[in-house]
Amino acid sequence: MPQPSAPRKTPGRPPRISREEVIATARRIVDAEGVDRLTMRRLATEIGSTPMALYHHVRNKEELLVLLLDDYAARALHRPELPAQPRERIVAAAAAIHEALAACPWIAEVLTADDLMSTSALWFVEQILDGLVESGLTPERAVHGYRTIWYYTAGEIVVRTTAARRRADDDGPTYRERVFADLDPNELPRLAQVADRWAPLTAENTYLDGLRALIDGLLAAH
């Protein structure tokens, strides 16, 4: 057992790099050249070490990306003035998280995390929970409500980001276009009706509308 009052020298070979250094260097690469260029080998070279040395500071690449996201969230999420009215506070807090995440283009690779639980995001989660409780929900239902909002928010970002990436990769006609091309208006009239407007309609950013509807529904259920 390590003695907390003992002199601070630990045994073993002293580290030449630190987790902080790894994260900071990774951030530089991602900021400068995009997440695609972030490889463990590249990162090791940049930091003046070897690929496997990194694995003593991060569990694997996925954890590194989560740490990068936390790091990003800590910078991007400052605490704004939120409205006093509970419903509007919930909207504003969720929208702030959404805005920060949506601005982070490499996010879809990570965003499937269980919650966004970086310390800097907790304050926003607190605001949402508080708004829900103030609106009359029990703490338990407030947690469920927050999760619902998170599912919607994460889903919106992941779906949109991935769709954008696929569009960039593909050249030929989308699978979607092919499907819409031979819709039977008798069998699927509503889809046929909007078929030619589907692309622009789904390209619109309706996150806030959906969020408000969702929160309205959550609060109306008492």
Residue 130 in contact with a second copy, rule: CB under 8 A: yes
Residue 126, binding choice from a second copy, DNA, none, Cβ under 5 to 8 Å by partner class: a second copy
Would you state the structure tokens that stand for residue 56, as one six-digit string?
Answer: 């003593």
Q: Do the beta carbons of residue 54 and residue 44 sit within 8 Å?
A: yes
Alpha helices in 105-138, H assignment, sequence order: 119-134
The alpha carbon of 89 is separated from its chain's Cα centroid by a whole number of angstroms, namely 20
Per CB under 8 A, 147 contacts a second copy = yes
Please tell me whether residue 14 binds DNA under the rule CB under 7 A: yes
**Is 42 among the residues that bind a second copy (CB under 8 A)?**
no
Cβ nearer to DNA, comparing 71 with 88: 71
Q: Which of 34, 51, 83, 189 binds DNA (CB under 7 A)?
A: 51
Per-position x/- string for 61-80, each x denoting binding to DNA as judged by CB under 7 A, each - no binding: xx------------------
Nearer to DNA, 15 or 155 (CB): 15
The entry of a second copy, DNA, none near residue 133 (CB within 5 to 8 angstroms by kind) is: a second copy
114 near a second copy (CB under 8 A): yes
Asked if residue 149 lies in contact with residue 211, where contact means CB atoms within 8 angstroms, the answer is yes
